[in-house]
Structure 1
Amino acid sequence: MNQVLNGLIELLSLEQKSDNRFVGTSQDLGFPKVFGGQVIGQALSAASQTVENRAPHSLHCYFIRPGDAAHPIEYDVERVRDGGSFSVRRIIATQFEKTILVMTASFHIEEEGLEHQDTMPSVPGPENFKSELSLYRAHADEIPEKIRGLLTADRPIEYRIVENQNPFRPRAGIGKRHIWMRSVDALPNNPFIHQSMLAYTTDYGFLETALQPHGISIGNPKLNIASLDHAIWFHRPFRLDDWLLYVADSPSSCASRGFVRGQIFNREGLLIASTSQEGLIRKS
């Protein structure tokens, strides 16, 4: 397996200290703050290890404090309820005995029922676009030297953005993005790995959608941007080592907060997950 991808699997696996307590290492992406997707993915991983024969169908979390990328994170899982069909878990992520994230996750047995879904947007397939990584490498001279190596390094997840443009000199446009994504190599046949890794991935570039109507780069030195909350609903089984289309839009931004929502489809057009997030957007 690809070494970088294997590193992400290990990052999300966690070390179990007791029945309800887990510890995860932190990933250094070149910034002092921990990537929010890492904490989401690890918290879901911790909760999943306390549930049997049920898959996560939703999670809702609040980012309380920024995490320190140089130190591990502790996850305490409260077994709120195990009912006949659903199990609910509350997860507290801490560093230095201070809460950095609070999550509630719900798990459901496999059931059949009524079905309908939105139609997948008609966009060209991933083979028509270059990877986001190739764009960063093509514009490496515009990346600050201290983080240039990290942004142009190999990644565990490949992203191909339909609305491709220079990420450092974006054009103002509508608040909508279409992103093809998949792992760079095959993943094990363990649904919890795919679910926790998708949770990790959904936070990547999501809030940037709220910047598109304003033509502001995520790298703008006058910009202060941070996730405030995040929610995911898992609708159908999926594999992250097959191409998925992440459709994100931002219907509102005001009061220094941007709101985004997303739908994730597989190549067959099935809606496999939905997401939403509000984030801080301050420009000095």
Structure 2
Amino acid sequence: MVNGQHDPVGMMLEVIDLASSGARTTEDIFTGSSHPMPTGRIFGGQVLAQAIIAADRTTGDERVPHSMHGYFLRPGDASQGVTLSVDRIHDGRSFSTRRTQAFQHGVPIFSMISSFEHEDPGLDHQHPIPRGVLSPEEAQQRTDATTLHPLSQRLVSDSPIELVHADGAIYDRVPGPHVPQQHVWMRTRRPIGDDPALHRAVLAYMSDLTIQEPVLRAHGVPWSLRGLKVASLDHAMWWHRPARVDEWLLYAQQSPSARGGRGLATGRIFTRDGELVASVAQEIMVRVPEASADGGVSGG
């Protein structure tokens, strides 16, 4: 509780803070809780953050994650905890590789390979931050949260992450042109301290938020569409530069392709002053009701 109020950020940090349940020569076991979700299914970003924290704890303090590639294998049960197993695949002079699997009820729900490095000086360039995007303050002035569907309102208000869609949210309708791209500002709802490992893990948590939406926006499909089914299939992330997740970050997203019931989305995450923090890619399964699959859904 913070000032007598429910603290979703505190709940997220508690979930990410894993407990060790013993270690072996080549495998380390950790356990974590799950935070409640209205759908009853574990939020994918939770498992991403837990998996990278578990892997990080098996490397030297001087090594930081630079990439991860994971597959969502089964839906997770948000009413149950998670067991994470880390295999120490390789430790070289500069890089360490880890395989992490998250289990519930004795079966894996998520599998990830991640790589850590001892950072050294080298070449340095980056993609520039998009121009002409509304600031979070400007976008907030255009947002009317009172018009949200009750389930959408609960998801927004209970989230530890503050999200502001610069192009308008697609919870209940798809405003503006139906294009396969969007820009979302995000940050935690309060400061979370100065631990860089925690900020990297929470960035992984945040990377799973809204990344599916360029696929839906391109076809005018809002989240509230009756019969819509969306599930994340895989997730890849590359950390480029350090950043604080309790300060505004811009998530620039696009979808290069959708076909055969699958859609691909990519994203770049920038600090407000233009530093490229991370790159993300995710493929989703998407099932749209037949009546809406061709012409899309009318937006505002």
TM interval, short-chain normalised: over 0.9
The residue that corresponds to 1:14 in the other structure is: 18
Aligned equivalent of 2:49, options 41, 59, 66:
41
| Distance change (3 Å), C-alpha of 1:131 and 1:42 | farther
Displacement of 1:5 in angstroms is 1.2
The residue that corresponds to 2:296 in the other structure is: none
Displacement of 1:58 in angstroms is 0.3
Aligned equivalent of 1:158, options 162, 176, 183:
162
| Distance change (3 Å), C-alpha of 1:46 and 1:67 | same
Three-state SS of the structure 1 residue aligned to 2:123 is coil
AA partner of residue 22 (structure 2): S
Displacement of 1:186 in angstroms is 1.4
Three-state SS of the structure 2 residue aligned to 1:129 is helix
Gaps of 5+ in 1: none
Aligned equivalent of 1:207, options 212, 228, 241:
212
Superposition CA RMSD, Å: 1.8
Q: What does 1:105-144 align with in structure 2 at a 5 Å threshold?
A: 105-122=114-131, 123-130=133-140, 135=144, 137-140=145-148, 142-143=149-150
**TM-score normalised over the length of structure 1:** 0.93
Displacement of 1:219 in angstroms is 2.2
Aligned equivalents of 1:191, 1:75: Cα separation in 2: 21
Which moves more between the two structures, 163-172 or 42-51?
163-172
Mapped contact 1:29–1:150 kept (Cα < 8 A) = no
Displacement of 1:169 in angstroms is 1.6
Displacement of 1:23 in angstroms is 0.8
Aligned equivalents of 1:174, 1:232: Cα separation in 2: 24
Aligned equivalents of 2:156, 2:284: Cα separation in 1: 26
Aligned equivalents of 1:48, 1:262: Cα separation in 2: 23
Aligned equivalents of 2:8, 2:127: Cα separation in 1: 34
The residue that corresponds to 1:197 in the other structure is: 202
Aligned equivalents of 2:42, 2:154: Cα separation in 1: 14
Mapped contact 1:63–1:102 kept (Cα < 8 A) = yes
- Are 2:270 and 1:265 equivalent residues in the alignment? yes
Aligned equivalent of 1:104, options 113, 119, 123:
113
AA partner of residue 208 (structure 2): D
Displacement of 1:154 in angstroms is 4.1
Displacement of 1:138 in angstroms is 1.1
Three-state SS of the structure 1 residue aligned to 2:242 is coil
Aligned equivalents of 2:171, 2:287: Cα separation in 1: 19
The residue that corresponds to 1:80 in the other structure is: 89
AA partner of residue 107 (structure 1): F
AA partner of residue 138 (structure 2): N
Displacement of 1:157 in angstroms is 1.3
| Distance change (3 Å), C-alpha of 1:277 and 1:131 | farther
Aligned equivalent of 2:238, options 230, 233, 236:
233
- Are 2:274 and 1:278 equivalent residues in the alignment? no
Mapped contact 2:30–2:84 kept (Cα < 8 A) = yes
Displacement of 1:153 in angstroms is 2.9
Q: Percent identity?
A: 38
Displacement of 1:131 in angstroms is 8.2
Mapped contact 1:131–1:161 kept (Cα < 8 A) = no
Aligned equivalents of 2:234, 2:167: Cα separation in 1: 25
Gaps of 5+ in 2: 290-300
**TM-score normalised over the length of structure 2:** 0.88
The residue that corresponds to 1:181 in the other structure is: 186
Aligned equivalents of 2:75, 2:21: Cα separation in 1: 24
Aligned equivalents of 1:27, 1:230: Cα separation in 2: 20
Three-state SS of the structure 2 residue aligned to 1:263 is strand
Aligned equivalents of 2:235, 2:170: Cα separation in 1: 27
Equivalent pairs counted in the alignment come to 278
Mapped contact 1:89–1:104 kept (Cα < 8 A) = yes
Mapped contact 2:170–2:217 kept (Cα < 8 A) = no
The residue that corresponds to 2:255 in the other structure is: 250
Displacement of 1:165 in angstroms is 4.5
Displacement of 1:149 in angstroms is 6.7
Deviations 1:207-235 (A, max 9, x none): 12101111111222211100000000000
Mapped contact 1:94–1:100 kept (Cα < 8 A) = yes
Three-state SS of the structure 1 residue aligned to 2:9 is helix
AA partner of residue 269 (structure 2): I
The residue that corresponds to 2:65 in the other structure is: 56
